[in-house]
């Protein structure tokens, strides 16, 4: 089995990890009738919540598609 010959330096470890970035998710903004703003993933069913924030069901294109 191949094994590393030398210890990897702190600098090269850090240079590798510096390239390891998170990307921001694309989100769709939707505003309710009373101005409550919510964000959801595009082309995916959205979780509908009641006023207390309890998830009720999943909705897509105005139709209930699945339970949470």
> Does residue 28 bind another protein (CB under 8 A)?
no
Q: Which of 23, 53, 59, 56 is nearest to 40 (CA)?
A: 59
Does residue 46 contact residue 64 with C-beta atoms inside 8 Å?
no
Q: Considering beta carbons, is residue 18 or 52 the nearer one to another protein? A: 52
Residue 12, burial from CB neighbour count under 10 angstroms (0-12, 13-18, 19+): exposed
> Does residue 25 bind another protein (CB under 8 A)?
no
Stretch that binds another protein, among 2-10, 15-23, 30-38 (CB under 8 A): 30-38
- The residue from 5, 6, 10, 61 that contacts another protein (CB under 8 A) is 61
């Amino acid at each position: 089995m191949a094994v590393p010959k030398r210890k990897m330096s702190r600098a090269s470890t850090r240079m590798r990890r510096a390239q390891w970035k998170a990307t921001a998710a694309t989100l769709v903004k939707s505003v309710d009738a009373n101005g409550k703003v919510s964000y959801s993933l595009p082309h995916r069913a959205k979780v509908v919540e009641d006023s207390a924030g309890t998830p009720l069901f999943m909705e897509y294109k105005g139709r209930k598609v699945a339970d949470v």
